[in-house]
């Protein structure tokens, strides 16, 4: 089969590799019909994730068709159309029973880490993928949900919702600022209304993305490159600061921005993946009673979000801005890697 293989920092290739096989009775083999590229894949190619070994097939998002199941798989059969969750779950360890799938203790890849695809085992940017713990790591796809919509449920929609909205403890009537109008930031904007946010402020350097943000629920936009960006945000809160600041970029500057605009007693929800240390000004934050949260998605809200996507209550289709086929995988990476220039949100890559 063909797959996108990591060759070390800055090196990748679309090349022939062996087909995956059933290893454990809880496994399933899925023909990948649709996949996409995540910012995390770019972090890997940048050398920021040393756990990823040379020769690893990248990708942790996908929609496909089951071609084979292990003897212990009971919830799925050959031919089922499924979403592949970016987080595997054995379903029975201490962390999984507590809903903390992100730290599944199952023995696939590495104990205590739920994100394994394209990280600790081969991933979804391939013709086929082996899915461990299939009964808990796949979601059957209903009719009426397209592959382009469904692939957003592998990672970015549950990530934006769980780590941004839920961890940020958004409440009805809240003023919420989302720093970074990329795919995950837009996913947070698209789901923050589920918890009743009254005002949603999109903050970004890119005017195009700010315009797109209004289609995902932003009520106001602020260009962060403006000298008075902070004053503009505070003016939307009567000067008191936002109730929740969601950081969806992953660089020190944007984390600091979040701490500067949150009101006393408010929440900073860090969603971005940081590749370097961030300075935390506890000397000023402690007296403001600020709550700071962060984490790896559990993907335990995927079934609920899938129902909302199926009912067209979340505009998942609007995240798909560019379309490619598998034989154009390297072109898709080029387009996604130049998102500011190409205006790409999510690139959708299909078998044909």
- Name the nearest CA neighbour of 339 among 36, 134, 31: 36
Residues of the chain with pLDDT under 70: 108-111
Query: Same domain for 150 and 168?
Result: no
Looking at residue 93, which CATH number applies to its domain?
3.90.180.10
Report helix, strand or coil for 81. Answer: strand
**What tokens appear for 209 in the block?**
């993305």
Tell me, what's the pLDDT at 29? 98
Looking at residue 241, which CATH number applies to its domain?
3.40.50.720
Instruction: Map 175-221 to HEC letters.
Output: EEEEECCCHHHHHHHHHHHHHCCCEEEEEECCHHHHHHHHHHCCCEE
Query: Same domain for 146 and 184?
Result: no
Determine the structural domain holding residue 182 and report its residue range.
160-294
Tell me, what's the pLDDT at 30? 98
Give every CB contact of residue 92 below 8 A, 6+ residues apart in sequence.
none
pLDDT digits (tens, 9 = 90+) for 100-109: 999 999 876 5
Tell me, what's the pLDDT at 111? 66
Query: Same domain for 118 and 82?
Result: yes
pLDDT digits (tens, 9 = 90+) for 18-67: 999 999 999 999 999 999 999 999 989 998 888 999 999 999 999 999 99
Tell me, what's the pLDDT at 276? 86
Query: Same domain for 265 and 307?
Result: no
Query: Same domain for 96 and 113?
Result: yes
Residue ending a domain, choose from 256, 271, 294: 294
Tell me, what's the pLDDT at 109? 57
Residue ending a domain, choose from 250, 276, 294: 294
Query: Same domain for 308 and 201?
Result: no
Query: Same domain for 182 and 135?
Result: no
Query: Same domain for 284 and 311?
Result: no
Instruction: List alpha helices for 11-151, DSSP H.
Output: 39-45, 94-97, 134-137, 147-150
Query: Same domain for 62 and 107?
Result: yes
* Burial state string for 13-37 with b = 16 or more CB within 10 A and e = fewer than 16: ebeebeebebeeebbbbbbbbbbbb
Domain count for the chain, please give it: 2
Query: Same domain for 123 and 11?
Result: yes
Query: Same domain for 289 and 304?
Result: no
Query: Same domain for 74 and 56?
Result: yes
**What tokens appear for 111 in the block?**
């104990």
């Amino acid at each position: 089969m063909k797959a996108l293989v990591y060759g070390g920092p800055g090196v990748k290739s679309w090349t022939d590799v062996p087909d995956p096989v059933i290893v454990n009775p809880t496994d399933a083999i899925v023909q990948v019909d649709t996949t996409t590229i995540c910012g995390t894949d770019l972090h890997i190619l940048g050398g920021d994730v040393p756990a990823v070994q040379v020769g690893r097939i990248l990708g942790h998002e996908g929609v496909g068709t089951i071609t084979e199941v292990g003897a212990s798989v009971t919830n799925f059969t050959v031919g089922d159309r499924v979403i592949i969750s970016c987080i595997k779950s054995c379903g029975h360890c201490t962390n999984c029973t507590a809903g903390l799938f992100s730290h599944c203790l199952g023995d696939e890849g590495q104990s205590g880490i739920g994100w394994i695809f394209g990280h600790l085992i081969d991933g979804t940017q391939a013709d086929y993928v082996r899915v461990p713990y299939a009964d808990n790591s796949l979601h059957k796809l209903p009719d009426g949900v397209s592959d382009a919509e469904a692939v957003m449920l592998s990672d970015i929609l549950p990530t934006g919702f769980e780590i941004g909205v839920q961890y940020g403890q958004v409440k009805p009537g809240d003023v919420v600022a989302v720093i970074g109008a990329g795919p995950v930031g837009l996913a947070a904007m698209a789901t923050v209304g589920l918890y009743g946010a009254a005002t949603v402020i999109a903050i970004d350097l890119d005017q195009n993305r700010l315009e797109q943000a209004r289609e995902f629920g932003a009520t106001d936009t602020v260009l962060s490159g403006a000298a008075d960006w902070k004053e503009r945000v505070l003016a939307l809160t009567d000067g008191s600061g936002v109730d929740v600041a969601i950081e969806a970029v992953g660089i020190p500057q944007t984390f600091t921005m979040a701490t500067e605009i949150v009101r006393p007693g408010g929440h900073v929800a860090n969603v971005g993946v940081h590749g370097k240390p961030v300075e935390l000004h506890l000397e000023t934050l402690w007296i403001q009673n600020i709550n700071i949260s962060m984490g790896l998605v559990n993907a335990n809200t995927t079934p609920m979000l899938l129902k909302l996507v199926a009912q067209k209550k979340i505009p998942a289709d609007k995240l798909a801005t560019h379309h490619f086929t598998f034989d154009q995988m390297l072109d898709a990476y080029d387009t996604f890697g130049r998102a500011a220039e190409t205006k790409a949100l999510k690139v959708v890559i299909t078998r044909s």
